[in-house]
Amino acid sequence: MNRPRVRAPFEIGGHAIRAGRRAQLELPIARLMSGTPVALPVIVVHGVDPGPTVWVNAVIHGDELCGIEIIRRVLAEIDPATTAGTLVAVPVVNVHGFNTGDRYLPDRRDLNRAFPGSARGSHASRIAHLIMDEIVARCEVGIDLHTGSDHRVNLPQIRADLDDPDTLELAQVFGAPVTLHSRTRDGSLRQAATDAGATVLLYEGGEANRFDRDPIDTGTAGVLRVLAHIGMLTDREPDRAATRCGRSSRWVRATASGILHLDVELGDRVDAGATIATIYDPFGKRHGRLRSPVDGVVIGHTQHPLVNRGDAAVHVASLDDPAR
């Protein structure tokens, strides 16, 4: 009688995770000046059956916290006994920034401009190299979770290379309200992973240093849809959510310094020429109106009421299918 073949363990960072198991592990990054070790937290779900290998990461910027909760919720829905393939979750990439509440690393470098990195480079470069060598190199698909930067909030959206058919398919499956074509940026995780052969989605939603319910709900549902679509979740039927695609967006900038009063909310449809914000001085005198340059949807805006002339105020995307 032939016994079923047991799937090989998943090896990462000197650890071997057996099929049908979930493991929490730490990949050493560095030591603080006090000698305290700093490590990258990683959760691996190694399914009983063969399938794709996918990573999901959050907090490349230390103040972008929504992705941590998305990953927690996704992991709560996944059982290794009914999983085909392997999920590698990294809830906190920028451990230093996370611990200090800072977007950047201690040397003020942006970790998402340091990829693919080097084992002998700067601290940011070494962390990037670790991510590429231990995480990305083992995966075919990746989902990089972000929020808006400090004092900016984003409508849940996918940014990806929509000219690539595989990426477009997964972006549509994710089902964020808006999907934007976006070129990769030099030094970003998305660029380095794409160059390494992975299919990568970048999810944006919410605000830094906040847990925003709608972006978290949308992100969780989207990640699970993608995992189900590629056959990883054998106990879940793939579903679909509507998304609207676009290829361009523009930040509307303050025309004067003063106090900003927004006339729109995230997700609002706007017509070209429509007033989207008004600027007053402390005496209540109006100093300017901001108007949408295009027909589109509001996908982001500043949360700060005080602006200087030229500050980015409202982000408007032009969509291919502007259904009203």
Q: Do domains 10-242 and 247-319 have the same CATH topology?
A: no
pLDDT in tens, 157-188: 999 999 999 999 999 999 999 999 998 999 99
Of the options 3.40.50.720, 3.40.50.300, 2.40.50.100, 2.60.40.420, the CATH number for the domain spanning 247-319 = 2.40.50.100
The sign one gets for the Cα dihedral 176, 180, 184, 188 is negative
Amino acid identity for residue 237 in this structure:
E
DSSP string, 134-155: IIGGG-SEEEEEE---TTEEEE
pLDDT in tens, 76-106: 999 999 999 999 999 999 999 999 999 999 9
Which of 48-62, 250-264, 293-307, 310-324 has the lowest average pLDDT? 310-324
Instruction: Please state the domain extents for the chain.
Output: 10-242, 247-319
Give 185's contacts (C-beta < 8 A, 6+ positions apart): 112, 113, 191
CA-atom Rg of the chain in angstroms? 21
- Once rounded to an integer, what is the mean pLDDT over residues 262-281? 97
pLDDT band at 145; cut points 50, 70, 90: very high
CATH class label, 10-242: alpha beta
